[in-house]
Amino acid sequence: MYTRLNAYRIMWVICCFDLPVTTKKEQKLAQGFRKFLIESGFMMIQFSIYGRHCPSSENANMHINYVKRHIPPYGSVLIFKMTDKQFGDSILYINHQKASPPKGWQQLELF
């Protein structure tokens, strides 16, 4: 049976980056990129790793393209997507204690 929102259709967009911060200009670019991600609905998973919950693969592709247009000129940025099921199967340890990965948001659908 087909359901509109399920763990295999819902996607996560993950953005990992390593940006130089040796000069004031580089620091400003790196801070601006982090601020851009947060304002675009991404949440920090770890330092320099941000994730965004998306209701579909098409929506995830839209956000990936949006991030690609805002990548700073220096450093490295890795963007990938995974299903909610794959993200839910991830294992997180904090201080050698197993913890739960971040939960997705409830999707509000307006008709």
- pLDDT, one tens digit per residue, over 32-83 is 999 999 999 999 999 999 999 999 999 999 999 999 999 999 999 999 999 9
Q: Which residues form the domain of 82?
A: 11-99
Q: Is residue 86 part of a domain?
A: yes
Task: Check which CATH number belongs to the domain holding 55 and give it.
Answer: 3.30.70.240
Residue 56 lies in a domain: yes
Number of domains in the chain: 1
| 11 alpha-carbon distance from chain centroid | 10
The mean pLDDT value for 22-29 works out to 96
Let me know if residue 51 belongs to a domain: yes
Predicted TM-score (pTM) of the model is 0.82
Q: Which amino acid is at 101?
A: P
Nearest-angstrom CA–CA distance, 79 and 86: 16
Residue 110 placed within a domain: no
What pLDDT, on the 0 to 100 scale, is given for residue 33? 97
- Report how far apart, in Å, the C-alpha atoms of 91 and of each of 87, 88, 94, 95, 101 are: 9, 8, 10, 13, 7
